[in-house]
Amino acid sequence: MKNFAGKVAVITGAGSGFGREFARLGASLGMKLVLADIEAQALAATADELRARGVELISERVDVSQAAEVERLAQRSLEAFGKVHLLFNNAGVAAGGFVWENSAKDWEWLLGVNLMGVVHGVRCFVPMMLEQGDECHVVNTASVAGLLSTQLMGIYNVSKHGVVTLTETLYNDLRLKGANIGVTLLCPAYVPTNINQSERNRPDTGGEQTESMKAAQAAMDKAVTSGRVSAEDVAQMTFDAIRENRFYVVTHPKILSSVELRLQDIVAQRNPSDPFTFKKDVAVKGV
C-alpha cells in the first residue's frame, strides 16, 4: 500500500503512545480514521486534536479484550465509511514479576488485552478486507518481548510471543489464500509511551505487589522513560514498512544479537542463554 489518501484506518490504543502517532501520521496522509481506546479522556483528546485539523473520523471507547466490543467497532467502521483498508491492532498493557507470582487475574488481563485483543481484531476485520477485495494491510503490535524471554516479564512475554506467532500465521494463511492484504509485525523495544502506567486502566486492583513485581515495575519505568526512539519515530518506521509491504519491524536493531543468540540456543538444543548477555548494564539484579 503506497497511496493512503482517502483510505480508512482503524487504530486501537489510539489515545496515546504508538496509536496516537499512527493516527497523526495517517491524518497527515489524508486518511479517514476510526479511533478506539479504553481510556475515554485520552481518546477524546486525540480525536479533538485531529478534528481540529479537518480530519474525518469517528472514535469509540472499546475494551479490545471483549469480543463483542471489537465486533461493534467493526460494525461502526462499516456504517461510517463503508470499508476498512488499514488495521492497527495496537492496544497493549504491561505487568511483570516472577511468573509463578502472577495471579489468575494478572493473566486474564494481560492475555485479554495483548493477545485476545489482536485475535478479535483479526477475526472481525480480516474477513471484511477479504470481501472488499481492495488492497489492505494489517499491523499487529507485538514487542521484542515476543522474540525473547527476559526475566521478570513472563506474563508479558507470553502475550507478545502469542502475537508474533498469530501474525506470522496470518501472513502465511493470507498468502495461501492469495489475498491482497499485507501484514506487518511491529516489535518495538522500550519507547517513551505510558505503557509503564498500564495499571491506570486495569479493571481490578491486582492485589498486593511482590518484591519481584516491584523490581519489574522499577526496571520498566527506567527503560521506558530513558528510551531514545520516540513513538513518532516508530510510527514512521511502521508506515515505511507498509509502503514496502515489509513484515518485520524491529525498532531497535541492536536487540537482534540477543534474538539470534536465542535462535542459536534452539538450533543447538542447549539451555537458554541469559537474554541480557549483550546488555548486562540494564539487567535486573537479584530479587
Residue 281: pLDDT band by 50, 70, 90 thresholds?
Answer: low
Q: What are phi and psi for residue 185, nearest 5 degrees?
A: -105, 115
pLDDT > 70? residue 286 = no
Percent of the chain with pLDDT over 90: 84
Residue 203: pLDDT band by 50, 70, 90 thresholds?
Answer: confident
For the stretch 222-272, pLDDT in tens is: 878 777 899 999 999 999 999 999 999 999 999 999 999 999 999 999 999
Query: What pLDDT, on the 0 to 100 scale, is given for residue 225?
Result: 79
CA distances to 75, 83, 193, 233 from 121, rounded to whole Å, are 12, 15, 22, 24
Residue 200: pLDDT band by 50, 70, 90 thresholds?
Answer: confident
Q: Give the DSSP letter string of the chain.
A: ----TT-EEEEESTTSHHHHHHHHHHHHTT-EEEEEES-HHHHHHHHHHHHTTT--EEEEE--TTSHHHHHHHHHHHHHHHS---EEEE-------B-TTT--HHHHHHHIIIIIIHHHHHHHHHHHHHHHH-S-EEEEEE--GGGT---TTBHHHHHHHHHHHHHHHHHHHHHHHHT-SEEEEEEE----SSSGGGGGGG-SS---PPPHHHHHHHHHHHHHHHT-SS-HHHHHHHHHHHHHHT--EEES-GGGHHHHHHHHHHHHHT-PPPPTTTT-GGGS----
Residue 191: pLDDT band by 50, 70, 90 thresholds?
Answer: confident
Rounded to whole angstroms, the Cα distance separating 146 from 257 reads 15
For the stretch 69-108, pLDDT in tens is: 999 999 999 999 999 999 999 999 999 999 999 999 999 9
pLDDT > 70? residue 111 = yes
Average pLDDT, the chain: 94
Residue 282: pLDDT band by 50, 70, 90 thresholds?
Answer: low
Tell me if the pTM is above 0.85. yes
Percent of the chain with pLDDT over 70: 97
pLDDT > 90? residue 110 = yes
pLDDT > 90? residue 201 = no
pLDDT > 70? residue 1 = yes
User: Is 8-256 a domain of CATH 2.60.40.1180?
Assistant: no
The total of other beta-carbon atoms located within 10 Å of residue 228's CB is 9
Query: Could you give the residue numbers annotated as active site?
Result: 156
Contacts of 106 (CB under 8 A, 6+ apart): 95, 155, 206
What is the mean pLDDT of the segment spanning 184-189?
Answer: 96
> Which sequence spans correspond to the domains of the chain?
8-256
Query: What pLDDT, on the 0 to 100 scale, is given for residue 279?
Result: 78
Query: What pLDDT, on the 0 to 100 scale, is given for residue 207?
Result: 75
Query: What pLDDT, on the 0 to 100 scale, is given for residue 285?
Result: 67
Is residue 278 within 8 Å of 257, Cβ to Cβ?
yes
Query: What pLDDT, on the 0 to 100 scale, is given for residue 261?
Result: 97
For the stretch 38-71, pLDDT in tens is: 999 999 999 999 999 999 999 999 999 999 999 9
